[in-house]
Each structure stands twice: as C-alpha cells, then as structure tokens.
Chain A
Amino acid sequence: MGQHQFEIAYVFEFFYRLLPSLKVTLLIVGSSIGIGTIIGLLVALPQLYRIPVLRRLSQMYVSFFRGTPILIQLFLFYYGVPEVLKLVYVDLTRTPALFFVILTYSLHSGAYISELIRGAVSAVDRGQVEAAYAVGMNGFQAFSRIVLPQALSISIPVFGNVVIGNLKDTSLAFTLGILDITGKAQTMGTLSQRFIEIYISLAALYFIISFALQKLFDRLEKRLLRHEPAAAGLTKDPLVKISFLRKNLAASKWRRKEARL
C-alpha cells in the first residue's frame, strides 16, 4: 500500500466495473430470503402451536443459527454437508460453492425470520382473535383475515432489517470464492493495488442498495400501517415509532432482538 496516490477517478471507474457482479449478490440475497421465509414459517409453527418435541428442535435450530457466526456456518456447511451426504452415497463434491452459500444464508435468515414471525403474531392483541371468533370465524379465518394482516404490518420494519442484514452478510461469501461484489472487489484490488479506491466504491455500492431497501420497506410499512396514523405518521423517526409500538402492541419482547449487525 501507499505506492499510489489516491485518485478519485478510480472510485467511479471501479464502481462501474463492480456493477455486473451485483447480480450475484442480489441472487444470493433474493433466493436466501425467499427460501428463508419458508423455513422461518416452518420453524415458527411448532413454537406458535406448542407442538411438544418439534418445538424444542426449532428452538435449538434458532439458537444455533443466532448463536454462531455466519462465517463459521458457511465453512461448516461447505465442508460438512458433502461429508455427511457421502455417508448416504450422495456425491456433492462437484456442486458449485454458490449452492452452499445460498443454503447457509437461507438457513441463517430462516432462524431470524422465524423469530420475527413468532414475535409479530404474538404482538397482535389477543382481543382481535376473540373478536374474530365472536363474529363466527373459524381458526383459519381468524388467522388469515385478522391476525396475519396485522402481524405483517407490524413485522415489516424487522423484516427490512433481516433483508438488509442478509445483504451485508453476503459480503462474506467471497471466503468460498464467490465473485459477488466483495469477491470481485478483492480481485480487482489485488490486480490494481488500488485498495482504498476499490473499497470506497464497494462500500458505496452496499450503501446505495441498503438505503434503497430501507426506503422501500419504510414506504411499505407506511402503506400497511395506514390504519394506525399515530404509528405511520412517526416513521420519520424510527425510534419514536418503536416506543409507540412498545406501548401499544406489546412488541417489546421481540423488538429487542432486532438489533443485529
């Protein structure tokens, strides 16, 4: 380092050259959030319905994926899954690394999403379900028409955090040789020896995507919370809104879990 003078022009050039790799990053984020949502739902259900043994298992699952670094999980699945499957004569040695990356990120975000679902559902006031029963709805109708829509609007900001957190986590996929924007930036850095410029453009690129996602989720939340003007009007300051939700939706328990890097 230090051989080159810092030149801002390179920042723009690198930024432009990083763009094609963005589709790898977005592919990982998109597919792992998609699969993670399904996993999250499956993991949350035993806990919501208090199914004996399964409930313990899903707690273990969540605890493991929240309790260990994503980097370790990546290595663990990359090296471990083929070995385990070898025992049942399934050969994964030629499977591309991207498969394991998506697998790991799906399982990882699945744990967070299950927590989110559990929290959102229990944050919906019990009286809403009672009222639904009282007008004669059955359990499924009460869940799908009353609880789910409300839980959905409550969970949007946390879901946004999970997605953005997932985006930032994908920066670790380079350790398995994936050429996402981080992986690409590393190669370009080594080739050009202009590390500062390349990492500034890399950071800028991540920032722009997270920022756009944040705006998107803010708007979505405002739309879904239009029935709560007191909450929706405060979206400008997320923290005030959090304290509003604390008081009114008993959401504090799960919201405390949202702080993640």
Chain B
Amino acid sequence: MKLDLSFIWTALLQLLTAIPTTLAVTGVSVVCGLAIGTVVALIRINRVPVLNAAAAAYVTFIRGTPMLTHLLLVYFGLPFVIDAICESFGWPFRSVSIPMIGFAYIAFSITAGAYLSEVVRSGLLAVDKGQIEAAYSVGMTTSQAIRRIVFPQAFAILLPNLSNSTISMLHGSTLVFTVSVVDINAKSQIIASSNWKFFEAYIAAAVLYWGLTFLIERVTAMAEKRFQMYNRGGVS
C-alpha cells in the first residue's frame, strides 16, 4: 500500500464540514468555563466560608481526573439526576430530549471551569495590591476597582494561559466521539474506515488541528499586543 497524497486532500475537504462542531464544543466550554472559573476564583480569593472548601474540592477533583471521565460521568449520571428531579416535581421534561452534544457542552464546561479558575486566580493575584489601593484612593468602590482596574490588568496577564487552556479544550474536544457527536476527529474516523485509508485521514485531521492551534496562538498574540499596550517594554 502506498501513501495516497491526493486522498489527504480529499479527506481534508470533507473534514471541513466538521469544523463548526469542533469549534462549537471548544467555544462553549471555554466561554462557560470562563464564567464558572471567574466565580470560583473570586470565591477562593475572598475565602468565602463553606463555598471556598467546595470550590477547592471541585478544582482538585477535576484536575486530578481525566477529561474523559468527566464526560462519561455527565453522560451516564446526569440523566439519572435530571429525571429524578423532574419526576419528583411532576415536570414533563425527560433527559432523553437533551441532544448528545448538550452533554459534551455541560461536561467540558465543568472541566474548563476548574482549569480556568486557576488561570483567573493567578491572573488576579498577579495584579499588584497597590493598584487596588490606588483605586480606593481616588474614591472607587470595591466593585469599581475590580471591574475597572483589576480585571483589565489581570486579563492581560492571563491571556497566554487562557490561550493554552483553549488549545487544550480544542484537543480535548476530540473526546466527543464517545457520545456519538461527529467533530473533526469522529469524522476522520468515519472517512478512514469507510475508505480504508486510515493513515491519510488522520494526517488530514492532524493538519487541521495543527492549523486551528496555530490560529488560536496567532489570535492570542494579537490580542496580547493590544491588551498589553500599557505594559510595553516591561519585563516583569
């Protein structure tokens, strides 16, 4: 058997149709994860009683287990919980009506939330204490200080980490094949086995993922430049 170069191209074109699914899973999990992560980070930084311990446990558990297990637990466990709740309240809703991709969204948002909470937390902690004091000194309230002074600076600091997490979520989104969602990876498996050209199909998939990763890196680099204007020339 010889490497069929033209088939790589054919496969690549076919894979393009699966890009939206991959991007949707990645995008939803990063955006929801960022929201979860910010709440968790604020809970942990302000050491909110009880919630702090729960947040710490959540982060430790998620970080200590593979993303695959999160997906499987949500996929098999969540219907149980939902159906039980709906039944006890007499609602007509049943878990069967949740689309497969919904489980991926939920599971990966939970995954991303834990990782991104650490990213947000380190970003917030890296902002100099003097910045908040200065904000108070010009008469801002705490929420003003956090929104107008701390968050913008923290965001610039955490951007590179956010980009890394996004890339990890992109690569992690390949797991959706276990819940029968057809993303780039699942599509390449289909193309591979239906044409009996495994190597070519996976080369095409690798190229596509590599390209998407590169794209995320480029976009981050551009955003970083924009956000770090105030910090130009600083090494620290």
Q: Which residues of A approach B to under 8 Å, CB–CB?
A: 1-2, 6, 63-64, 66-73, 75-76, 79-80, 83, 86, 164, 168-169, 171-172, 182, 195-196, 199-200, 202-203, 206-207, 210-211, 214, 239-240, 242-243, 246-247, 250, 256-257, 259-261
Contacts and interface: CB of A to CB of B under 8 A. Distances in A.
Interface in B140-164: 160-161, 164
A66 B174 CA distance: 15
Given A69-B174, A206-B66, A214-B64, 8 more contacts: A71-B175, A72-B209, A76-B199, A195-B76, A196-B80, A202-B69, A259-B168, A260-B164
A239 B64 contact: no
Contacts of A196: 73, 76-77, 80
A199 B171 contact: no
| Chain B interface size, under 10 / 10 to 19 / 20 to 34 / 35 or more | 35 or more
B118 A259 contact: yes
Contact of A80 (B64, B69, B199, B235): B199
A69 B185 contact: yes
B122 A239 contact: yes
A261 B65 CA distance: 10
A36 B220 CA distance: 29
Nearest to A164: B64
Contact of A199 (B76, B80, B169): B76
B160 A68 contact: no
Given A195-B76, A260-B168, A73 B61 contact: no
B174 A242 contact: no
A207 B61 contact: yes
Contact of A69 (B111, B115, B171, B198): B171
A72 B174 contact: yes
Leading 8 A-B pairs by shortest Cβ distance: A79-B198, A69-B171, A171-B66, A210-B64, A261-B168, A168-B66, A67-B213, A195-B76
B174 A207 contact: no
Nearest to A74: B202
B80 A2 contact: yes
A207 B65 contact: yes
B203 A68 contact: no
B181 to A, nearest CB: 14
Contacts of A69: 170-172, 174, 185, 209
A164 B122 CA distance: 20
B72 interface: yes
B27 interface: no
Interface in B188-236: 188-189, 192, 198-199, 202-203, 205-206, 209-210, 213-214, 235-236
B18 interface: no
6 contacts: A66-B167, A68-B171, A76-B202, A79-B202, A196-B80, A259-B118
Contacts of B80: 1-2, 6, 196
Contacts of A240: 125
